[in-house]
Chains A and B, each alone.
Chain A
Amino acid sequence: MNFPVLSAITFVPLLISLIVLIIPKSKENLIRWASTILSLIPLALALYVYYVVQADPGTMQFREEYSWIPALDVYYRMGVDGLSAVMLVLTALLSTLCLYYSIYTVKDRVKEYYFLFLLLQVGMTGVFVSLDFVFFYVFWEIGLVPMYLLIGVWGGKRRIYASIKFFLYTLTGSMAMLLAIIAVYLNTGTFDILKAAAAQPFANNLTYAAVAFWAFFIAFAIKVPIFPFHTWLPDAHTEAPTTGSVILAGVLLKLGAYGLIRIVLPMFPEQFAYYSYEVPIIPILAVISIVYGALVCMAQWDLKRLIAYSSVSHMGYVTLGVSAAAASLHAPGADPTSAIIALNGASLQLFTHGIITGGLFFLVGMIYDRSHTRQIKDFGGLGVKMPYYYGIMMVTGFASLGLPGLAGFWSELFVFRGTFAVIPTFAMIGIFGLVFTAAYILWKIIQHVFLGEFDQEKWDAATHNAKITDMATFEKVTMWPLVILMVLVGLYPSLITRLLNAVSTVLLNNF
């Protein structure tokens, strides 16, 4: 039997969390370093999976299948293709960086923190590798509890409100999904995600198909989040501890979008196309998310909240790309290449948004740790005082607004290139989002925080005489892998798109 690589990636963090549980509470440094160093194992395995999968990214590899609950026909099914492999690398990378960053920043209840964080990693990783609905659902929900506790215990002032809101929103979506999963099972007779998609559930009953489609869609839309289901996000992101925000923005949001691409699109292509083209609810919601999210950012003076809303806007591109791909099925004269390009853009955006916004949240956390304020108006002229930080923030911010040469450019280009060919109206409205994004990043972040004269008195008043220091070594170490990736993917996007393209092609050709 082959070595079960995917099980290892998923469950090694669980093993580490159990090790953390055994280490006595007082040995905080041992807990910190042991979990960080051991978390390199799943990262290495994820890179190995990426390396192997890229040879043939269109097919599911590393398949594992064992019977789990035969009485319910539930299997332990795992497998990865190009898309999941990319997401695996993203998850493992951001987790390791967060664990490393926490060594220096988390001082309170260290043991519980590391235990929960590793549990969270199990949940996230599991979603990307599972190919069985119940199995998928189990991981989907398991991540919820540690995240809830992370926000609630280590979060900011309004953490209790934010954590409950986060939990209940997601639980609502999950419950809808649970019913949909059961309905699909009763219709197709299998919990296998790939087989169920191939069986096209409810193909002969459009009402049921529409209901099941919306149940899945809403479950994932809450997680993405798509307007109007986004209201948990600003609260959760703002109140979460830095690493919590990084994981929320970097990985948890991707779970929703991944679900749209992996489950909803192949299983309900007709419904997805109908609600993207004939009754274009989904692209409308997508462009509202894009434009509205960006406009809120323009009006936002809380730095962390601003970046939280920028996620709403940026995840809107993903939804737009996926819906364009779906709409190509019904749009007359839409060429299949454009659909594939749109889907490539959407899935590439998952990766680029993960590293870019993850990086932005790290950066916000760094300045908050110094000043204990997130109000943009309290800052100003920091470019002189923190040149290194300024430089990193420039790169990350430019990547976020889609400057050519950096990672964010390609995903946005692909999304709009694909969408223009299929549903041009929405692409045209959505493009305003890009303009606003450039505006709030340049005006709000770069200008207000870094440019101008540094006013020592204002700073002292706002931060109670906090010391200004430039980035410490551990902060540089945390940021560099992300910055390198932004540049690398910016210069050589096929590193990722080669894998995604194969998946998109297979997906759309199966229609």
Chain B
Amino acid sequence: MLGQKRRCASRAMLAVPLMLLMAVTAGAQVHLNVSKAFGQKVIVAVPLFELEGGTIVDAAAARDVIEFDLGHSGYFSIVENREFVDETEIDDRISGRIAFQEWSALGAEILVKGKIGGDLSEVYVEATIYDLAQGKAIFGRRYVGSREQWRDAVHNISDDIVFKLTGETGIAKTKIAFVSAVTGSKEVYVMDYDGENRRRVTRQDAIAISPDWFPGAEELAYTLIRESRQECRRASISGSGERLTAFPGLNAFVSPSPRGDEMLMSLSKDGNPEIYRLRADGSDPRRLTFGRSTESSPCWSPDGRRVAFVSDRAGVPQIYVMGASGGTPRRVTLQGNYNTSPDWSPKGELIVYTSRISGTFQICTVDVETGETIRLTSGAGQKEDPSWARDGRHVVYSVKQGGKTDLYMIDIYELEPVRLTSGAGDYLSPAWSD
């Protein structure tokens, strides 16, 4: 129980969580045995967070965030009947103890009890996670930050729950970069992975395209088209930026390496669009492909030793893989006549890409080793620009339908698209941070 309240004295942000309770389970790092793919989901009850101090933050919103996070993690399902959950929680608060059997009777296996409080300058969020079958707390966490950071605090708790209970890295703290033209010019924006906290990154008043993250979720590389020239730029989400390349012709499809010290691009400075590998500051371009076809959209394998890219050497765009220093490419997409926009899973051998199927762009994966192809999306609407989350399980992509483009994410094991954006304007070219 969260009997005693410990205020974090430091106003330093959320980087250092305070552990309230140590894990009770003896030495076990992973509390539950949740299978990665199609395993049965663990059922979680999330009662309304307790409010302490001034009502700075909406306690109901905090619960919504944690339910969205856990419900879309792939490992958990949420007890749906909120009325019963709320009644049980009220009983708990009146009695001052946790009625484990009552919670279990709702079908729950895990209980997440949260508190949120603070004042205008500082907000804290804490949660204790209980194993209902054992009637024990598993762990507790508390995060402190500025008032605007309460969502980050809740996302942190979600990722802690995923990691403690499954051993997998969650995605609740990740961000998605995208392009929007709501101001009239195409600019790069960043939002939390759940579509909240949208903020503008670039102010170039031109055409920004194809953002991609450097490791660490603080900096992006992108291409800017301005006054009949392309350049590749780096932008920090705090607002600073600099030019990385401005070669004649194409300066496109920049892809920072997994270690962040290099990047891949397509350049046409030597007369034809080819794949080049450069230092992260844009210097020392080394050409990796040699031919007369169109080489575009390079991306790294997670170990940085291979490169996937698009080539029309067979007459139509297909996806190929080669060594990160070049060599003979091997074609990996063998179905369809228009396969573009590859992104390599951070967890292994799957490449996600856009495939034209019966005149409509759909999102597919192909296994680099086996060649097995799986289609993730269906139906009307042009789906483009897929990008993996760091869990190698979720993919974000854009869907153009009815003249408007929005971002969706999909769990490759569940295949139920979740819309992340709404409101005016188009949301294009998403890139998921690590």
Q: Do A and B come from one complex?
A: no
Residues of B in contact with A (beta carbons under 8 Å apart):
none
Residues of A in contact with B (beta carbons under 8 Å apart):
none
